[in-house]
Structures are given as structure tokens and as C-alpha cells.
Amino acid sequence: MSRALPGLTLDELEHELGSRTRALEALKWLWSQRPLAAALPEAIPEVSHRVWKPFAARTGLTLPTVAQRLESPDGTTKYALDFSGTQVETVRIPAKGRSTICISSQAGCTRKCVFCATKELGFIRQLKAEEMVAQFMVARAEAPVEAPASNVVFMGMGEPFDNLDEVLRAVNVLTQSPAPQLRAVSVTVSTSGVLPGLQRFLAESKASLALSLNATTDEVRTQVMPQNKTWPIASLLGELRADAVRTKGKRQTFVEYVLFGGLNDTDDDADRLVQLLAGIPSRVNLIPYNPYPGTGLRTPSEEQVRRFHQRVVDQGVLCLVRWPRGREIAAACGQLVRSTSGEGFSPSEVDGAL
Ligand code: SAH
């Protein structure tokens, strides 16, 4: 069986269907389905039955079933999606005139960030590109008409740079013509800072990048993100600096900084953050820690968050606070975990390029 249709690129489809025109028609069909088809039909318009039928038989649609859908009062909607027994989470975050879909790149996660609930799941398996694209399809199909799904962030479960081939393929599919044709700048891949993956992504992709920095010293970062021992702060920021020179500052780059009370939220941290980001055109997203039990970490007071923010802004760095959305339904950053007992969700946020 070849790859499922949502994971195929236009060139691959052309090869499968024997012509560019048929490939374009197949993509138009795929992206105009509302509600989504459950399986590939025997025929689609404008593609000869003779070619389509054997293709449909050897490929598939592999859309997930919606195991659970939770909507918070602000319209943020969290989906538990089931791909033949593997559950992942996807979140739709509406904003003025558009929605952002936050998708998972792994079931569970290969990383062990102390503050993130997803680590409780351990690593279950890599997701295929079609499963990432399918998450987008499901959430997009239910987006409000006045807020169409125009943005994607890889900020759900998983570390995208530990599954980079599939993530790059998904980015290609999401940005290709004739559909869904998202702008590369509107697709953001977020990493905990896996250096080899970061280097390859920066060399190969035009998509936006978010780096989860979360600390200003290696000592503190290693405490909350153990992988920092292998890829310390200077190694990661060195790549962003080189990328800024190479792309002449054209890549949209976000620096995610989760604020932990008393640990990384001091005035010195704010000053160090500004120094660390010299030469890196970026926007900082401050995310007040969404508490997750047993970590010993604290959420700073709102006043402390505002003070940190102001101190960074005063030194000329673009910086926004991402006040949590969807906390009521545990759809916020670091809260994406599906309890193994199937009882629902426990406390993650989807942030950055919202
Ligand atoms: N593995 C990738 C993408 C998933 S996490 C990465 O680390 O970037 C998406 C964002 O949520 C990251 O910036 C992460 O630092 C943040 N996050 C994780 N747990 C959190 C929590 N408990 N509270 C607030 N933000 C959290």
C-alpha cells in the first residue's frame, strides 16, 4: 500500500495517477470535502475511473475517528483523535478572522521536559505525515466560517525534530498548491532544541520556527529540560544567529519562554534573555507556567509576569504574553496528555504563532 492520500505530495500524486491534471483534481477533491469523507470513494470527478479505482484500492484516506471533542468557553476546541488505536491530541484556537490548528507530531514524546504533562505518556510512536495532515483536516473542517483554519503550529504532543522527515513532508503538503496552500510563514514548527534537527530544518524549510528556550542559563535549563546537557543554549542560539544572516532575517522566529515562579522570572533573567537574543530577529512569547502536579514548579503571579514582560520590552525586544487559553479543557501548553485509563485529559499550551 502506498502512503495514504493526505500524505502525498502533488508530484507523487502525479506519478500515481499518471498526469498532473488528475493529481490536481484529486487534491481539489480531497480539500473540498465537507463533511470529511470516511473513505476514498470509487470515483471522483474529472479523474478517470480506470486510473482512480486501483489507486484508491492501494492507498487510503486514514482519517482518524474523533474519540473526544471538548470546547472551552473561548471557542478553543481540543480533539482526542484515534488513528487505529493510537490517540493523539489536536487543538483549534480561534482568533479574529482565523483559526490556528495545533497538531501533534508524535504519540507521546521522545523528550522529558520536567514541566510538560506529555512526558507522562512516554514515547508511543512516530506519527506519519498523513496523520499530521489528517489532524489539520479534521480540525479545519469544523472551524467557524468567520475564522478559517489558516495557521498550523506543531506544538501539540511530541518533539517534531525527532520525527523530522515526516514533519517536513507534512509542511510541504500543507503549503502546496492548489490546496490547502497555507503560507510557509503561517506554519510554525516548535522544538525543544534538538540541534541536528534544528540545523536540517533551517537548511531545508521556509516555515516559521519556535524554539522553546525556557531559561537563560544552562544550569536552570538543564534542570527543566535534561537534553540541554547535550545541546546547550549557546549551540541552539548560534544556529538561529547563523540562520538570520543566511535568510537576511526573513524567517519568522519565535522564542518560547515558559515562566516559572522564582526559577527563571527574575530581572536578571529578563536582562540575560535580551542579551542572549542579540542578533536574532525574533519575537518572544512568554507563557506563564500551566501547573502540572508533582513538578515542584510554580506559576508566577500575574504581576511578576507583567514586570518581566515590561523589562524585556523596555530593552527593545518584541515580546508578548500568552495568557493561557483552553485551560478549562486542559488544552493549554504542557497539558496535552490523554490519561491511559481513558478518563479524559489531564493537564499543555499551544502557543507561539497564534
Ligand atoms: N516539543 C516541542 C513542541 C511541544 S510543546 C517544543 O518543546 O517546543 C509546545 C510549547 O508548550 C513549548 O514551548 C513548551 O515549552 C510549552 N509548555 C510545555 N509544558 C508547559 C506548561 N506546563 N506550561 C506552559 N507551557 C508549557
Report pLDDT digits (tens) over 51-65. Answer: 999 999 999 998 999
| Active site annotation includes 333 | yes
Answer whether 215 contacts ligand 1 (Cβ < 6 A). no
Distance (angstroms) between ligand 1 centre and the Cα of 316 equals 25
Q: Which atom of ligand 1 is nearest to the CA of 292?
A: 22
Task: Please give the Cα distance from 285 to 159 (Å, whole number).
Answer: 19
pLDDT at position 220 over 90 = yes
**Active-site annotation holder among 16, 25, 89, 166:** 89
| Active site annotation includes 89 | yes
SS3 214: coil
pLDDT at position 343 over 60 = no
For 289-304, give the DSSP string: ----TTS---PPPHHH
**Active-site annotation holder among 102, 256, 333, 349:** 333
Answer whether 131 contacts ligand 1 (Cβ < 6 A). no
Distance (angstroms) between ligand 1 centre and the Cα of 331 equals 12
What's the whole-number mean pLDDT along residues 294-300? 94
**Lowest-confidence pick of 238-247, 270-279, 283-292, 318-327:** 318-327
- Which residue among 333, 335, 337 has the greatest number of ligand 1 atoms within 8 angstroms of its CB, and so is best to mutate? 333
**Lowest-confidence pick of 32-41, 194-203, 278-287:** 32-41
Answer whether 115 contacts ligand 1 (Cβ < 6 A). yes
Answer whether 190 contacts ligand 1 (Cβ < 6 A). yes
Distance (angstroms) between ligand 1 centre and the Cα of 212 equals 7
- Residue 227: per-residue pLDDT: 98
Can you give the residue ranges of every domain in the chain?
1-63, 64-353
Return the residue whose CA atom lies nearest to atom 18 of ligand 1.
334
Answer whether 289 contacts ligand 1 (Cβ < 6 A). yes
H-run or E-run covering 56: helix 49-58
Contacts of 123 (CB under 8 A, 6+ apart): 106, 108, 109, 110
pLDDT at position 346 over 70 = no
Confidence of residue 204 (pLDDT cuts 50, 70, 90): very high
Return the residue whose CA atom lies nearest to atom 11 of ligand 1.
333
What's the whole-number mean pLDDT along residues 302-314? 98
What's the whole-number mean pLDDT along residues 262-277? 98
- Residue 324: per-residue pLDDT: 81
Task: Please give the Cα distance from 282 to 278 (Å, whole number).
Answer: 10
- Residue 281: per-residue pLDDT: 97
- Residue 351: per-residue pLDDT: 36
Answer whether 91 contacts ligand 1 (Cβ < 6 A). no
- Residue 325: per-residue pLDDT: 76
Task: Please give the Cα distance from 347 to 334 (Å, whole number).
Answer: 7
What's the whole-number mean pLDDT along residues 210-238? 98
Q: Which residue spans within the chain are E strands per DSSP?
A: 65-71, 77-83, 86-95, 98-102, 106-108, 123-126, 149-154, 187-191, 208-212, 253-259, 283-288, 319-321, 337-338, 345-346
- Residue 337: per-residue pLDDT: 67
What's the whole-number mean pLDDT along residues 275-282? 97
pLDDT at position 328 over 60 = yes
pLDDT digits (tens, 9 = 90+) for 121-170: 999 999 999 999 999 999 999 999 999 999 999 999 999 999 999 999 99
Answer whether 334 contacts ligand 1 (Cβ < 6 A). yes
What's the whole-number mean pLDDT along residues 316-340? 76
Answer whether 164 contacts ligand 1 (Cβ < 6 A). no
Distance (angstroms) between ligand 1 centre and the Cα of 138 equals 23
Q: Which atom of ligand 1 is nearest to the CA of 116?
A: 19
pTM for the complete prediction? 0.94
pLDDT at position 344 over 60 = no
pLDDT at position 189 over 90 = yes
Average pLDDT of the chain, as a whole number = 93
Q: Which atom of ligand 1 is nearest to the CA of 192?
A: 7
- Residue 336: per-residue pLDDT: 67
- Which residue among 88, 103, 113, 259 has the greatest number of ligand 1 atoms within 8 angstroms of its CB, and so is best to mutate? 113
- Residue 315: per-residue pLDDT: 98
Domain 64-353 CATH class label:
alpha beta
Q: Which residue has the cell 499551544?
A: 350
